[in-house]
A and B are shown apart, each in its own frame.
Chain A
């Protein structure tokens, strides 16, 4: 992330805007209707992109956490925290877009048969607890260490939970909603890539924005300290 950290924030904001607009245009105007599900399937381009971005945030947070614990990188704790925050925001969006899709396609606001959705529900609970943990400890090395360890647990939980959800399906016999994956041909692939890029750049922009804000807070506090 060293080189990207030097890209100025306004440039990122513009890039996000351009990409998101392009993605929206492609999703709504360029791509043909899905044979099975029609219009509602379009939300999937964003749903999947947001989901992968959220995973990227959580993995990134775990990486930063690891760096904090092993290399004592002084910035890593704040970066890890902001990444978890972004991950949680996008995770919430996954739940929302997934829910909307479920309502449009199947008439239910929630489907236990959707693995991705259930996984995000578990992760949502887990990372909300991260915030409760963080707010329950005074700022300092203690809080940073506890947050870092918990973030590492989170990244291990992702595959384990996914496996568990899959296993649980074998027990409960759900009404199987078959969803035929899109044939990844032509415009569909292009649209998906644009949507994914858009969401990733947007996420990174928000990350830089929040990180900058928090760093400023920290700097202000240090100044107040020095003057006191």
Chain B
């Protein structure tokens, strides 16, 4: 199970880096709460179930983008990417390790954000929370992958939202549906299929993103 240990070492490295720097997670927390406040002022009073759910997902997406944009900064600024690419481990471990770490940050931000949302707008149902959990997997898998691509370009962080948002649309549909629809099972199933499909394709093709 050396692959699992590689992934573990890489994920641990990212968590350690964030623990030392302490910039990404606090920023995500502040951002998501501030976004909720902005939403309150930009919407009519008592938004409908659908509108409120939409707000939640916009907030989640853009908070995630904030975190994802920062994901490869240490590797890029210090060019450490070369060091990881030279290693004999499977390159997809780099993606998986980074995804897991980003997932941890996103979940940590949501542990605060979701109760705040319930406080400001409306309570969240069980399927809604499950929808958020499933969506997080897809967001982190795809977002980390695209983040690695974006880092290799001149435009860098500017490119990440452009690459990510079209791929995030199905996630939003699934997430909103899970929270709002009478039969959330379909939407949760859809999110699970999305996750499976894109996790596999990301895992299989990360090799080509980092190798020249």
Establish whether A and B are touching in the complex (CB under 8 Å).
yes
Interface of A with B (CB < 8 Å)?
69, 122-123, 125-126, 128-129, 132-133, 136-137, 140-142, 145-146, 148-150, 152-153, 156-157, 160-161, 163-165, 167-168, 170-172
- CA A129 to CA B177, docked complex, whole Å: 27
A and B contact pairs by CB, cutoff 8 A, 14 listed: A69-B205, A125-B166, A128-B162, A129-B163, A137-B154, A145-B209, A149-B208, A150-B149, A161-B169, A161-B170, A163-B190, A167-B173, A171-B180, A171-B181
- Please give the distance in Å from B170's CB to the nearest CB on chain A: 4
Inter-chain contact A157/B167, CB cutoff 8 Å: yes
Inter-chain contact B173/A164, CB cutoff 8 Å: yes
Residues of A within 8 A of B170 (CB): 157, 160-161, 163-164
If over half of A's interface residues share one DSSP class (helix, strand or loop), that class is named, otherwise mixed; here it is: helix
- CA A24 to CA B194, docked complex, whole Å: 41
Inter-chain contact B163/A133, CB cutoff 8 Å: yes
If over half of B's interface residues share one DSSP class (helix, strand or loop), that class is named, otherwise mixed; here it is: helix
Interface of B with A (CB < 8 Å)?
50, 149, 152-155, 159, 162-163, 165-167, 169-170, 173-174, 176-177, 180-181, 186-187, 190, 194, 197-198, 201, 205, 208-209, 211-212
Pick from A150, A153, A164: contact of B174, CB under 8 Å: A164
Pick from B152, B167, B169, B190: contact of A146, CB under 8 Å: B152
Inter-chain contact A164/B166, CB cutoff 8 Å: no
Pick from B167, B173, B187: contact of A153, CB under 8 Å: B167
Inter-chain contact A137/B152, CB cutoff 8 Å: yes
- CA A156 to CA B209, docked complex, whole Å: 17
- Please give the distance in Å from B168's CB to the nearest CB on chain A: 10
Inter-chain contact A145/B201, CB cutoff 8 Å: no
- Please give the distance in Å from A144's CB to the nearest CB on chain B: 9
Q: A170-B177, A171-B181 are in contact. Are A149 and B169 (CB under 8 A)?
A: no
Inter-chain contact A136/B155, CB cutoff 8 Å: yes
CB-CB nearest in chain A for B210: A145
CB-CB nearest in chain A for B176: A171
